[in-house]
Chain A
């Protein structure tokens, strides 16, 4: 599987945000499959599927404020996993709180991006995330 073919996992509960993100990706001609997990539990469920052999995503875009299981908890479990910890996780959230930033990086987040309100900027961000994490970045798998 070539690098650009790897899917992206979007963990986001807000349907509007999901929609806008997908649109933003589409507008910027991102061709990767985008899987969506709508809460923390769903996101964690993906771990079992990856263990079972499903292709790992090129990057996980993770919101922090999630129902059921908090985004930080998802991050923690993922980064404690012996094998899956290598999957890049980009925290994509509304919170610019320095506490959240600190915690996320301590738990092993690979990047932390604050979602801009302006849609143009959001599209820019989406494009850059895709470009960087699916094309430029060299992954160990």
Chain B
């Protein structure tokens, strides 16, 4: 594959993918084409330039870095310098200030001295002056002492007064007057002073000089505070005349340095600068330092303050950064260098590659253009980028025709396209070399090609391409196809022959080919073998074949043969016997077909097969024999058996037993199908099953149906069977009905017991109820009583003496017989071994296999009992131990009692030896108590009682004190006490307390007696009331009901009412549980009873009829609900049978109360009921009357209007038509008549409205008030506008009232109408409608500015026909406001008015608010 791999061959530069090709010939190029940027790889001159530039850049970079570092250092130093100068200036300033002050002070002192007369007390004068200045001097930053030196050298304190003057003062060494002179510090460390002296002007007082002592320690501290950074140092020097400097103070402190004179660069520097501050970089003590100086000059002493810092400390940060900066610089330089180098290399490589590529391109192009194979390059989409000239020979198209097209576009068959693109995709995706064969249509038809597809390495900026080299393999393909076809044909023949041969062999068939003209036949080897001949020398002819025929068969065979040859029958198929070589017979089936005929249509050849049927024939014969035998068996079998046909499922045969079991006769049975034997619900399933079932099959648990419809349980076994050649099945049926029934019964019984016995962990026994013989016991029972089951069954518990309690089983039977339950009883039983056991048992009467039986369950509680006993004993012991006091013991073996010595000590008798204790005890015990004590002790020792006594004893002081003694003896097996121990403790206080309690109790008793007497009186009074009130009262004890309902609640019942409704027996039980304590006389009378005991013994007597019980449920529900009082009607008969109508009120106890007494009051309401009925009737009558009356009013008012209309009508007609026949007076009369009728009309309308209001049914709803008011007012609008009435409304939109919409409208309309009427004269007329909510009601008010009225009429105005004004003043009928009141009353509201004459009136409507 030279060309397949050629594209990937690497050149020496090793960058094939990155190579750029220069395409000399233009597209299509052989190599992948990529544009190349001109100048990317320059000429050698450019490379030299590049190298120079790189070097220059590196040098610049390093230089810049060094410069930055240097700048950084200078900045650090300059900062430190500035800081040092500031510090030193400040310290110097403080010193100058201090000295200036001292100087000022001295000047004052000197001037004071000058004024003093000679010989004055100098110290006093100076001291006073100093004290006056003390406050000022104390403020100074540097503390100092100022004093004067007299001529004798003594010091006089000036300021501040020395507190102890601990430092050593130097002997003054005064120079020229008025000049400061500084001495080196003197005195021991810690109490040194820097002495600064100034000579005084000589004067009369003998003062030689003034001195200022700067204390060394405070000065040091001050300097210390000034140190800014670690490494900073401060010093104070004196400048010597010879140019040296003496150290006065130094921080950090170095003792050895103080007072030392230094010479050297520092001193020289100081000497060069006579004044002011300066700084220098110098080496000191082997360290380079930056020091700032300040020399104090003028008239101050020649001293220098210096502030210095070690440069290595100052530059520490800078140094720390140095390596990092150097590293960064180096890295940058290295990167720059590397970049330059790489660029240089790249340029070089590129040049080489270009050269190599150009060379390769030339070579490959020549090669590809001359290859006989087709070479092409394709892109990822399968488009041709290049094709060599060979493609023209292959396809008839020039290479240019391919460029930019895909194989599909170029007409490649679809299947081939898929193959082609799949190969391309694989090559691209996996980078593999794919080899494919494909077909492509060419000038000479479709040609076959073999191609190698190789992906060419792709780079990020180059499109992926694949190289495909194809070779024509058409000739090879054709040859292969021809060879293949031939091989296939051969193989098919071989297969067919083999199959045939195998088939004949398997079928035991021989082939024959008979020449009908000659009678010669060719037979296959099989036939010879069939007849026992050697195939090698077996020669067959038609005659020989006839010869071998069985004589019996010869006729039929020849007839069939002739018939077929003559064309009378359609096929030739005969069965016959052939003699074998050894004289036996074989059954042969021959079939044949005429294979050839002559021109006249006569048969020439018969071709066919012989098949050996011997085995089949033998089997048939055997079968026939067997069938006969079977039939006899089938019929005689006592087991019902049937045979049916497959497919139709019809019964073919049934035997005698079947007919007997199913009741069908044989004929009837034969008309049946298998499904008919099954119940209807199973038939469909059976059809399906019978069709599917194969081979032996056993069915159990199924039912058949007999002729008479009876269902029987059967088990069937069936087998396949061919009857007369038809496939069928035989089923043998076993009737298991009885068996099943018995089994079911047994299983049910067994299950019941299994469940019972297994479910209960308790020991269970079942015994015959009457005889007591055990019928069944479970394991637990056997275990509990120690018997085996065999020992128990059939015996009774009495015989076995299993009950220790004598009554035992008898009692249980008795209880159960009387209908009581036996649950959770305790008894003592006896095990077989004889020991007794405590058992808890329950018993139940049950039906056990039809026997009346007793089921008992036992639980062993011996353990519990023992535990209880042990607990009791333990508790006694505990009590004994817990009782404090003196413990004593008495060992009878050792003899003597030992009330311990503490007892005697407590009594104040001191120590009593053991031997004397008993005698002493007898002496001190009160004689009255001794007897009792001894008796108790004796009884206890005889095990007749506990030893627990209280006794008195006399103490040493003669006081009687109370003691309590308890003890417990231990007895040996013979019942003799051998040890006793106990306690004795003093109870004097308790006794006293008891005495007090006794006294109090007596008093109490007395009070109780008195109270009881009072109560007795009260009770008697109550009893009298109880007996004499006209109300029937029954006092009842409901504790039983309380208990029953508490149990009910504990059992989880929540809804009592529903439970009572569902359980009438519980209600009855509750009724029985109520005990009547007493009834009063009225109650007895009410029930027609003579006395309670005989007539009303219990509550059941009140409810003789079980149906009445439902009335009692109410009381139970009330009790259940915790109600304390309940009232209901009762319809119960009296004892005499007289029906009673009672109102019962019962006051009940709480369900959980201790009090269980209920008091029942019964009132006979028969009379009330009767009265009520009467009332109802009366009301109904009144309603009727009222209704009639209303109707009357309505129709009368109605009818009244008709004549009015007549009067008015005719009056009008008279006035209009006959006016001329009337005089003025007559016309006036008619006018009056008409007015009167119109008024009458209005009055009738009003009356009708009033009456309607009474009759109307009201619907009370929630009404929004504002719309209702607006609706009414809208109707008045025309009137309001015409009259110019100022009507204002103030009704909150949210207000709602409960009322009838129409009723409210009527009331409001009448009020507004009223207001309008009475404001007729008001100018302007004002009406205001407002609503307010007052608690649950809404008040609607209508206010007018009419004449108003006197409040004494406030009620009258609402009465019908009541008017306060004459008709000519304000017309009206006097019904309007009555209508308002009626409407409001009917809606449950009210109306009232407020007014005063001349002040207008306000009418209020009030209705319930709706929310």
Interface residues of A (CB under 8 A from B): 14, 16-17, 20, 23, 65, 94-98, 115-120, 122
Contact = CB atoms under 8 A, between A and B. Distances in A.
A119 B1194 CA distance: 23
Given A17-B1205, A119-B1211, 20 more contacts: A17-B1206, A20-B1205, A20-B1209, A20-B1210, A23-B1213, A94-B1201, A98-B1252, A98-B1256, A116-B1205, A116-B1241, A117-B1204, A117-B1205, A117-B1208, A117-B1237, A117-B1240, A117-B1241, A118-B1208, A118-B1238, A118-B1241, A119-B1212
Question: Which 5 A-B residue pairs are closest in the complex by CB-CB distance?
Answer: A117-B1241, A119-B1212, A16-B1206, A119-B1209, A20-B1209
B1202 A14 contact: yes
Given A17-B1202, A115-B1205, A117-B1204, A97 B1212 contact: no
B1245 interface: yes
Contacts of B1202: 14, 16-17, 94
Contacts of B1209: 16, 20, 23, 119, 122
A116 B1234 CA distance: 13
A94 B1201 CA distance: 7
Nearest to A64: B1198
Given A23-B1213, A117-B1241, A97 B1252 contact: yes
Interface string B1199-1243: 101111110111111000000000000000000000001101100
A97 B1194 contact: yes
Interface of B: 1194-1195, 1198-1199, 1201-1206, 1208-1213, 1237-1238, 1240-1241, 1245, 1248, 1252, 1256
A69 to B, nearest CB: 17
A17 B1203 CA distance: 9
19 contacts: A14-B1206, A16-B1203, A16-B1206, A17-B1206, A20-B1209, A65-B1199, A94-B1198, A94-B1202, A94-B1205, A95-B1198, A96-B1245, A96-B1248, A115-B1201, A117-B1238, A117-B1241, A119-B1205, A119-B1209, A120-B1212, A122-B1205
Contacts of A120: 1212
Nearest to A98: B1252
A97 B1248 contact: yes
A94 B1196 CA distance: 12
Nearest to A97: B1252
Interface of A is mostly: loop
A20 B1237 CA distance: 16
Contacts of B1211: 119
A82 B1198 CA distance: 33
Nearest to A117: B1241
B1248 A117 contact: no
Contact of A65 (B1198, B1238, B1240, B1241): B1198
A108 to B, nearest CB: 23
B252 to A, nearest CB: 121
Chain A CB within 10 A, most for which of B1195, B1208, B1256: B1208
Contacts of A96: 1245, 1248
B814 to A, nearest CB: 81
Contacts of B1205: 16-17, 20, 94, 115-117, 119, 122
Nearest to A21: B1209
Contacts of A17: 1202, 1205-1206
B479 to A, nearest CB: 107
Q: Tell me which of B1195, B1199, B1212, B1238 has the highest count of chain A C-beta atoms within 10 A of its own C-beta.
A: B1212
A53 B538 CA distance: 128
A97 B1248 CA distance: 8
A110 B13 CA distance: 116
Contacts of A16: 1202-1203, 1205-1206, 1209
A14 B109 CA distance: 152
A20 B1213 CA distance: 9
Contacts of B1201: 94, 115, 117
A36 to B, nearest CB: 16
A26 to B, nearest CB: 11
A14 B1209 CA distance: 13
Chain A CB count within 10 A is highest, among B1202, B1204, B1256, for B1202
Contacts of A65: 1195, 1198-1199
B1192 to A, nearest CB: 14
A40 B830 CA distance: 109
From A97, A117, A120, name the one whose CB has the most chain B CB atoms within 10 angstroms.
A117
A116 B152 CA distance: 153
A119 B1213 contact: yes
Contacts of B1204: 117
Contacts of A98: 1252, 1256
Contacts of B1194: 97
A116 B1209 CA distance: 10
B816 to A, nearest CB: 77
Among A20, A65, A94, the one with the most B-chain Cβ atoms within 10 Å of its Cβ is: A94
B660 to A, nearest CB: 82
A23 B1256 CA distance: 37
Nearest to B1249: A96
Contacts of B1245: 96
B1252 A119 contact: no
A125 to B, nearest CB: 12
A56 B508 CA distance: 115
A16 B1208 CA distance: 11
Nearest to B1205: A117
Most buried by A among B1202, B1205, B1245: B1205
Contacts of B1213: 23, 119
Contacts of B1208: 117-119
B724 to A, nearest CB: 85
Contacts of B1199: 65
A122 B1201 CA distance: 13
A12 B1194 CA distance: 19
A29 to B, nearest CB: 15
Contacts of A118: 1208, 1238, 1241
Nearest to B1213: A23
B1386 to A, nearest CB: 15
A20 to B, nearest CB: 4
Nearest to A94: B1201
A28 to B, nearest CB: 13
Contact of A20 (B1206, B1248, B1252): B1206
A86 to B, nearest CB: 30
Most chain A Cβ neighbours within 10 Å, of B1198, B1237, B1245: B1198
A115 B1210 CA distance: 15
Nearest to A24: B1209
A12 to B, nearest CB: 10
A98 B1212 CA distance: 30
Contacts of A122: 1205, 1209
A17 B1205 CA distance: 8
Nearest to B1302: A98
Contacts of B1240: 117
A119 B1201 CA distance: 12
Contacts of B1195: 65
A100 to B, nearest CB: 10
Contacts of A95: 1198
A121 B571 CA distance: 126
A17 B1207 CA distance: 11
Nearest to B1197: A94
A65 B1194 CA distance: 12
A97 B1198 CA distance: 10
A89 B1252 CA distance: 25
Contacts of A20: 1205-1206, 1209-1210
B1215 to A, nearest CB: 10
A97 B1191 CA distance: 12
A12 B1199 CA distance: 13
Contacts of A14: 1202, 1206
A119 B1203 CA distance: 12
A95 B1191 CA distance: 13
Contacts of B1238: 117-118
